[in-house]
Structure 1
Amino acid sequence: MEPVIVAGAGPVGLALALALARRSVPSVVLDSGDGEVVRRAARTCVLRPQTAALLPGVETARWRVWRTERRRQCVERVELDDETSPLHVEQYRLEHALREALADEKLVRIATGSRLDTLEQDAEGVTAHTRGPGGTWWRGSYLVGCDGARSTVRKLLGIGFAGRTSVERYAVAAVRTRLPRPDEALLHRDPGGRGGELTARPLPHAAWRLDWLLPPRGDLVTPEEMLDRVHATLALLHQGSADDAPPAYELLDTGVYATHQRLARRWRVQRAFLAGDAAHLAGALGVQNVDEGLRDAANLAWKLALAWHHGARETDADEALLDSYSAERRAAVGARLRAVDQALPFVRRGGGGLRTLLPGGGAGGPLGLLTDGHLGRGPLGCAPVYDRSPLAVDGKHAVRTDTAPGEPVRDVPVVLLDGTRARLRERLGGRGGDLVVALVAPGTGVWASRHWLRAGLMPELAAAVEALPLAAELVVMEEYPGATAHTVLAVRPDGHLAGAFHGARPEALRACARALTAADA
C-alpha cells in the first residue's frame, strides 16, 4: 500500500501524520514552507484536556480559575480541576513538539517546499503534483487536505465553503509580565465603562495573551494604539494589588485577526478528505478552531488506518467507516457553528429569543455564554457527542455510567496487565490499539497484577479481547464515575465511549468491534 498524503504541515497535518504512524501507516506530509516553525507568541491554541491527551508532551499553562467581570465588578468565578481546566500554548511550541515527535518516526516523511497544484484520483489511490524545481509527482493511498482556510485541496475537489467572513475582529498582544493572579484567566466586559471586551489568559513562562474585541470593520490598529491598550490593560489588571504601579513588561508579539464562520459542504470526495481549517472555520465567542481541527485528526486517523491495513481496494465496510468521519465531525462542527450564529445577536447586540433558539443557553446571559465558549462547555464549547453516529453500538447489553455512549470518557487511573500504572487517556490515540477495553475491578490498584490476572472474570475477558478482529488493549481501573464493579467500558482510540456492559460478554465486545469497523454495513 502507498502512504497517506497529508497536504499541510500545521498542527492538524502533523498530528494526523503522528497518529497514523502510531498505527503503522506511512505518510508523506507536503510542507509548502521550508520546515522552520515561525515563532509568533500572539498566535496561541486553547486545548481541551481530552484533546491535549492525544498529543506529544508540550509545555502549557493551565488556568485554575476563570473570572468574569463587568465594569470592574466580578460577576462569576469558576474554579477548575484537571478535567475542566483548558491548556494554553503558543502554536509554534505545539508545532515544534509535533515535529520533534515525528523526527523519530520512520514512517513519516516531511517534504518541504512542496506546494500542491494538481490532484487526481482512481480506484486504488491518489496522485498529487507539487510545484518546485522540475516538479514532483506523489502517489498515495489516500490524501487529506490540512492546508488551511485557503485550501488548495478543497478548491481542486470543487467543494464549496459556505459561511460568513469577519464575524468578530480582535487586537491581540503577547506580553511577559507578573500579574497578581498568575493562575487565573479573565474575561472583562465593559472594563472602562465605555463598552468593549477584554480577555487575559496566561501562557508558559510568565507570558500572557491579551485580546481586545474590535468593531467588525474599522481602521487599522496602529502600533501606538496597541501600546496604549497594553498599558491601560496592565494597569487595570494590577489594580488592587499591594503595589498599585503597573508592572514592567516585555512586549513579545502583536497582531489583529478576524474570526470567520465557514463549513465545507463535503469533507470527503472518494479517497480525498478535508480536516482542520480546510474543512471549517470557527472562533467567535471563544470557540477554539485548532482544538476542533485536532479532533478531526484524532477521528480520521484510526478510520484511515483500519481501511489502509485492509488493502488497496476498499470494501463496503471501509466505505461506511470512512464516511463516518464526515458524519460525525461535520455534524459536530456544524452544530457548534449554528449555536454561535444563534448566540451572536444576543451576546453582541442584545437581541432576544435566544432561549428558544439555543437549548441550554442563555440562562446566564451574554457573559455566561462567553464563559461557556472559552471553557469548553455548553452548546458553544462542549466536547462533541457521537450518539447518532453510524458507528453506534447496539445497546442490547448496555449498562449506564456517568458517560453516555458517544461522549468522551473521563480520565481515570488505570493499571495495565503488566502492572504498569497509567491514566486512561494515555492509552488512547493509538497507544493502546484501535479499542481500549477497561474493566472496573476494585482492589486491582492494591494487589499486584499476578494476583488478579487469573482471578474472577479476567481470564474470560482477556480471551475475548484477544479474539477481537482489531488491535485492542485490556486495562483495569479501581473505579469509574457512575459505574459498578465489573462494568466494562469499550473506548474508541479518539477517546469516545463505544459502549459499556456488565461482566465478560464476548458477544458485546464483538458487537463493539463490528460497529467500529462498520462490519455490518
Structure 2
Amino acid sequence: MDPVIVVGAGPVGLTLALALARQDVPCVVLDEGPGTDEPRPARTVVLREDTAALMERLTGVRLTQLGCRWAGWRSMRRRQVISEVAFGDGAAAPPLHIPQHVLTGALRSALAGERHVEVAAESRLDSLEQEPSGVTAHTRGPKGTWWRGSYLVGCDGPRSTVRKLQDIRFPGRTAVERHAVAVLRTELPWENEALLHRLPPWRSSGPSAGEIAARPLPDGLWRLDWLLPPGKDLVTPEMLLARIRETLAGWTNGTTPPYDLLDTGVHTVHHRLARRWRADRVFLAGDAAHLLGALGTHGLDEGLRDADNLAWKLALAWHHGPREALLDSYQAERRAAVAARLRAADQALPIVRGGGGLRSYVPGSARNHEILLMDGHLGRGALGAPGAYGDSPLAPGRLEGEVAVDTPPGAQVADVRVTAEDGTFVQLRERLGRGALLVVLIAPGTAVWERRHWMSAGIMPRLAAAVAALPHRAELLVAESYPGAPAHSVLLVRPDGHLVTALSGVRPADLYAATEAALGGPAAEGAEARGGAEARAGAEARAGAEAEAGAVSG
C-alpha cells in the first residue's frame, strides 16, 4: 500500500509522521525548506502536560534537558500580586517552555532513524489529485516530482496550499491580539517563575498600558511579550529597546540590570477555523486547520493533539482498510474541541480586554480577569485545558456494566503507574501511541505479588480471555488504583489516551461493544465483518469458561 503523504515539516507534520512510523505506517514528509530549521530564539512554544508527554514518548528525549519547566507562576496587577502558583511536590505538572527550533530538531533526529519515513527537502506542493484508491501530489523545486500516497495530510501552516487546493474555507478574525517579543539573557527577581504583569505602574493608563508576560527559558534566557494596543503601528527597534529598559528597571527597583538581547519579533494572533478538516483522503491538521492563541493560549498544543488523534485512526485504516466512521471522527472530535476553545476565548476577550466603565468598579473583577488569563497561560479551564470527546461519534451507547470514575468518557486518562504484561512497572502514558487499545484492571494489592501469581488468580483469566477476543489488538494492564475507580473495575482506553468507558468487573459483551464503537463500528468487509453479535457472544462464552469472577487477592 502507498505511504501517507505529510505536507509540511513543522512540529505537527513531523509529529504525525513519527507517530505513524511508530505504528509501522510508511510516510513521506514534503518539506519546502532545506531540511533544517533556522534558530529563532524569539519563536518558542509552551507545552502542557499531555503534549510534553507525547513529545517525550515519540522522541525518546527528556525535554527538561532542552526546555525549561516553570517552578511557579504569578499574576500581578500594578504593584499587587493577585495570585501565585507553585509547581512540584504533588501539584499540577508545570508547563514546559522550549524554543521551537529545538523541538523540531529533536523530532528530526528521531525521524532520522525511522526506516518508515522519507523526508523530501525543497519539495513544495503545487497540485494534488484524488482517486478512490489514493492521492497523487506534485512538488516543484530542485527535486520536483510526482508522489503517490494512500492519504495526504496538510500540516503546512496558516497559508496551507493543501487547504487552498481543496477549496476549503478558513473563516475567522485577523489580528485579535499583537505582541512585541524579545528574548534576552538577564537576571530577574523570579528564578524560573513565569510572570504576567498587568497595568505595570511605570506605564501610563489607557490602551497602551497593556500587560507584560515573562517566561523563563534554559541558560538564563527569558522571553518577554508586551501586549500592543489595537492597530497596526510599526514596532520600531527604538521603541522595543525602550520597553525592555523600562520593564527591567521597573522589576528591579529602578536600575536596569545587564542584559544581552538575542532576538526580537512581533507575534500576531489570528482566530480562524477551517470549515472542513477532511476531504475524502485529504486531511488538515495544525495551523492549516485552525489558528488560535489569544489570552495566553498556545495553538501548537492543539496541533499536536490533532496529530495524536489522527495518527492511530490513519494507521488502523492503512493496515486494515478504511472505516469511514472512524476517519470522519477526526474532524468531529478535533474540530469541536478547537471550536470550543475559540468560543471561550472570544467570550473572554471583551471581559478581560474591555477595561474601563462600570466593569472596572465591580469588586473582584480584576481577580476574575487574572484567573481567566492564568487558565490560558497554564492550560486550565475552558481556555486552556485539553478537550474531551464526550460527544464523540465513537462513544459507545449506554452499557449495562458502566461505572463512573473521576475521568469522564472521552477525556484523557490519568497517568497512573501500571504493571505491563511482562511484569514491568510503567506509566500508563508510556503504553500509548502503539496502535493498541489499553484495557486496565484496577486491582489493589497486586503490586506486592509477583505477576505469575495474580495472572492466574481471581478474575484475571476471564478478563484475559475477553481481551483476546476483542476485534482489535489490546494490551492488558493492571493498576493498583485509579482516581475514583472502584476495585476490580476495568477501563478501556484509546491509543491516544482518551477513556472509552469504565466497567464494573469483567463484562466481555460490554467490553466488546465498547471496543467496536471506539473503532467506528463493525468493520465493513472481510473477516472483521463477521465480528458483530456472533463475536460478542463468542467472547462471553470463552470468558465464561474461565475461572469464575472473584477478587484478586492482595
- Band of TM-score, shorter chain: over 0.9
CA distance in 2, matches of 1:217, 1:448: 66
CA distance in 2, matches of 1:402, 1:452: 26
CA distance in 1, matches of 2:77, 2:367: 14
TM-score, normalised by the number of residues in structure 2 = 0.87
2:341 matched residue in structure 1: 336
1:178 matched residue in structure 2: 187
CA distance in 2, matches of 1:236, 1:464: 65
1:46 matched residue in structure 2: 46
Letter in 2 for 1:222: T
Please, which moves more after superposition, 201-210 or 215-224? 215-224
Pair 1:74 & 2:84 matched: no
| Structure 1 alignment gaps of length 5 or more | 355-361
2:258 matched residue in structure 1: 248
What SS does structure 1 have at the residue aligned with 2:495? coil
Change (3 A) 1:471 1:60: farther
- Measured against aligned partners, the alpha-carbon deviations of 1:418-451 in whole angstroms (never above 9, x if no partner) come to 2222111111122xx3311111111222222222
1:267 matched residue in structure 2: 277
2:444 matched residue in structure 1: 442
- Measured against aligned partners, the alpha-carbon deviations of 1:32-62 in whole angstroms (never above 9, x if no partner) come to 0000111111111111111121122232211
Is the CA contact 1:345–1:351 (under 8 Å) kept in the aligned structure 2?
Answer: no
1:359 matched residue in structure 2: none
CA distance in 1, matches of 2:409, 2:12: 26
Percent pairwise identity: 62
Q: Describe how 1:26-65 pairs up with structure 2 within 5 A.
A: 26-55=26-55, 56=59, 57=61, 58=63, 59-65=66-72
State the Cα distance separating 1:364 from its structure 2 match.
4.8
- Measured against aligned partners, the alpha-carbon deviations of 1:398-424 in whole angstroms (never above 9, x if no partner) come to 111111001111111122122222111
Give the RMSD, CA atoms, in angstroms.
Answer: 2.0
Change (3 A) 1:353 1:464: farther
User: In structure 2, which of residues 100, 109, 112 is the aligned counterpart of residue 103 of structure 1?
Assistant: 112
State the Cα distance separating 1:469 from its structure 2 match.
2.1
State the Cα distance separating 1:520 from its structure 2 match.
4.3
State the Cα distance separating 1:153 from its structure 2 match.
0.1
Pair 1:288 & 2:312 matched: no
TM-score, normalised by the number of residues in structure 1 = 0.93
User: In structure 1, which of residues 349, 354, 358 is the aligned counterpart of residue 354 of structure 2?
Assistant: 349
Q: Describe how 1:93-132 pairs up with structure 2 within 5 A.
A: 93-132=102-141
Please, which moves more after superposition, 37-46 or 274-283? 37-46
User: In structure 2, which of residues 398, 401, 407 is the aligned counterpart of residue 403 of structure 1?
Assistant: 407
| Structure 2 alignment gaps of length 5 or more | 360-364, 524-554
Letter in 2 for 1:39: P
Residue-pair matches, total: 504
2:170 matched residue in structure 1: 161
CA distance in 1, matches of 2:415, 2:243: 40
CA distance in 1, matches of 2:159, 2:425: 44
CA distance in 2, matches of 1:395, 1:237: 57
User: In structure 2, which of residues 458, 473, 476 is the aligned counterpart of residue 474 of structure 1?
Assistant: 476
User: In structure 2, which of residues 379, 387, 395 is the aligned counterpart of residue 384 of structure 1?
Assistant: 387
State the Cα distance separating 1:218 from its structure 2 match.
3.3
Is the CA contact 1:392–1:498 (under 8 Å) kept in the aligned structure 2?
Answer: yes
Is the CA contact 2:122–2:143 (under 8 Å) kept in the aligned structure 1?
Answer: no
Change (3 A) 1:465 1:206: farther
Please, which moves more after superposition, 297-306 or 504-513? 504-513
Is the CA contact 2:210–2:229 (under 8 Å) kept in the aligned structure 1?
Answer: no
2:250 matched residue in structure 1: 236
2:329 matched residue in structure 1: 324
Is the CA contact 2:217–2:223 (under 8 Å) kept in the aligned structure 1?
Answer: yes
What SS does structure 1 have at the residue aligned with 2:447? coil
CA distance in 2, matches of 1:149, 1:351: 34
User: In structure 1, which of residues 184, 202, 205 is the aligned counterpart of residue 216 of structure 2?
Assistant: 202
CA distance in 2, matches of 1:235, 1:445: 55
Which has the higher Rg, Structure 1 or Structure 2? Answer: 2
Where do 4+ consecutive residues of structure 1 move more than 4 Å? 351-354
CA distance in 1, matches of 2:347, 2:175: 16
